[in-house]
Amino acid sequence: MFSNGGRRWGRLDRWPGLRRTGQPSHPRKLWQPWMLGRLLLLGVTTVVVSLVVNAGGSFWGPPFAFREGERYDRPILARVDFRSMDDKEYLQGSILVPAHQPISEKHLALLRAEHAAYLQSLTLRDYLRHWLGLVLITAGLTTLVAVCTLRYYPSFVNDLRKLVLVCASVVLGAGLGVVFGQAPWYAAVLPLMMLAMILSLAIPQGLAFLVMVSLALLVTLAHGASLERQFVVLASGLVACVLMLRRVRRRSQLVIVGFCAGIVFVLMSLAVGLLTDQTWTLITWDAGRRFFYSLLAGLCLTGLLPFVEKLFGVVTDISLLELGDVSHPLLQELLRRAPGTYTHSVTVATLAEAAAERIGANPLLCRVGSCFHDVGKMLTPHYFVENQAGENRHASLTPAMSALIIINHVKDGVALGQKYRLPKPILDIIEQHHGTTLVEYFYRQALRKWQEQLARGGEAVAKETETPLASEARSDGAPASALSGSPNGSSLVASSVPAGPMTHANAEPTTDTTRAGEVLESNFRYPGPKPQTREAGIVMLADAVEGAARALTDPSPGSLQKLVHEIVLKRLLEGQFDESGLTLTELRQIEESLCKSLIALYHARVKYPETKSPGTKGAVIR
pLDDT at 441 over 90: no
In order of 104, 279, 295, 370, the CA distances from 270 in angstroms are: 21, 11, 18, 49
Structure confidence at residue 496 as a pLDDT band (50, 70, 90): very low
Least confident of 249-263, 284-298, 420-434, 467-481: 467-481
Note the pLDDT of residue 21. 45
Closest CA to 21 of 574, 434, 565, 494: 574
Q: Which region, left, alpha or beta, applies to residue 16 given φ > 0 means left and ψ of -120 to 50 means alpha? A: alpha
Average pLDDT, whole number, for the chain?
A: 82
What mean pLDDT is predicted for residues 108-135? 89
d(CA 583, CA 589): 10
Return the SS3 of 439: strand
Q: What is the mean pLDDT of residues 370-382?
A: 93
Confidence of residue 612 (pLDDT cuts 50, 70, 90): low
Q: Which of 90, 97, 53, 49 is nearest to 73 (CA)?
A: 97
Determine the number of helices (DSSP H) and then strands (DSSP E) in the chain.
24, 4
Q: How far, in Å, are 164, 189, 208, 553 from residue 196 at the CA level? A: 17, 10, 7, 54
Q: How far is CA 44 from the centre of its chain?
A: 26
Q: Which of 51-55, 517-521, 559-563 has the lowest mean pLDDT?
A: 517-521
Distances (CA, A) of 575 to 438, 534, 579, 593: 13, 14, 9, 21
| Cα–Cα distance measured from residue 102 to residue 111, given in angstroms and rounded to the nearest whole number | 13
The alpha carbon of 292 is separated from its chain's Cα centroid by a whole number of angstroms, namely 31
H-assigned helices in 224-362: 232-244, 253-275, 280-312, 317-323, 329-337, 339-359
* 126: pLDDT strictly greater than 70: yes
pLDDT at 11 over 60: no
pLDDT digits (tens, 9 = 90+) for 352-361: 999 999 999 9
Count of all residues that appear for the chain in the document: 622
Predicted local distance difference test score (pLDDT) of residue 479: 35
Q: HSE on the CB side for 197, CA within 13 Å?
A: 30
The pLDDT of residue 553 is: 86
Domain boundaries, the chain: 33-61+122-312, 340-601
Q: In the chain, how long is the greatest CA-to-CA distance?
A: 120
> Around Cβ 131, how many Cβ atoms within 10 Å?
17
> Counting Cβ atoms within 10 Å, is residue 15 exposed (0-12), middle (13-18) or buried (19+)?
middle
The answer to whether residues 313 and 162 touch, using CB atoms and an 8 Å cutoff, is yes
Question: Which pTM value belongs to this model?
Answer: 0.74
Which of 326, 329, 319 lies closest to 346, judged by CA? 326
> 89 has which bridge partners?
83
As a whole number of angstroms, the distance between CA 178 and CA 253 comes to 27
594-617 mean pLDDT = 74
pLDDT value at residue 55: 75
Among 228, 304, 221, residue whose Cα is nearest residue 269: 228
CATH node for 340-601: 1.10.3210
pLDDT higher than 80, residue 603:
no
What percent of the chain is predicted at pLDDT more than 90? Answer: 51
pLDDT of residue 469: 38
pLDDT higher than threshold 80 for residue 274: yes
**Angle separating helix axes 534-550 and 424-432, nearest 10 degrees:** 50
**pLDDT attached to residue 111:** 92
pLDDT at 7 over 90: no
Single out the residue of 50, 200, 64, 212 nearest to residue 140, CA to CA: 50
Q: To which H or E segment does residue 96 belong?
A: strand 95-97
Burial class of residue 509 in the structure, from the number of CB atoms within 10 Å of its CB (0-12 exposed, 13-18 middle, 19+ buried): middle
pLDDT in tens, 191-250: 999 999 999 999 999 999 999 999 999 999 888 888 888 999 999 999 999 999 877 888
How many angstroms separate the CA atoms of 505 and 470, rounded?
A: 8
DSSP state of 227: I
Residues near 521 by beta carbon (within 8 Å), at least 6 away in sequence? 438, 443, 500, 502, 503
- pLDDT category at 458 given cuts 50, 70, 90 is low
Model confidence band, residue 59 (pLDDT cutoffs 50, 70, 90): low
What pLDDT is recorded for position 514? 53
In the predicted structure, residue 26 carries a pLDDT above the cut 70: no
Of 184 and 401, the structure prediction assigns the larger pLDDT to: 401
How far is residue 166's CA from residue 157's CA, in Å, rounded to a whole number?
11
Instruction: Answer yes or no: is pLDDT of 617 > 60.
Output: no
SS3 of residue 525 by DSSP? strand
> Which pLDDT value is given to residue 434?
95
Exposed / middle / buried, residue 385 (Cβ in 10 Å: 0-12, 13-18, 19+): buried
Per-residue burial over 402-440, b if 16 or more Cβ lie within 10 Å, else e, is bbbbbbbbbbbbbbbbeebebbebbbbbbbbbbbbbbbb
CA angle at 482 for the pair 313 and 486, rounded to the nearest 5°: 70
pLDDT at 384 > cutoff 70: yes
What pLDDT is recorded for position 620?
Answer: 44
CB atoms within 10 A of CB 271: 15
Q: Which amino acid is at 435?
A: G
Q: 414 pLDDT exceeds 90?
A: yes
Percentage of the chain beyond pLDDT 70 is: 80
Residue 417 three-state SS = helix
Q: Is the pLDDT of residue 542 over 90?
A: yes
Q: Is the pLDDT score of 387 beyond 90?
A: no
| Residue-wise burial string across 54-75, b where 16 or more C-beta atoms lie within 10 A, e elsewhere | bbbbbebbbbbbbbebbbbeee
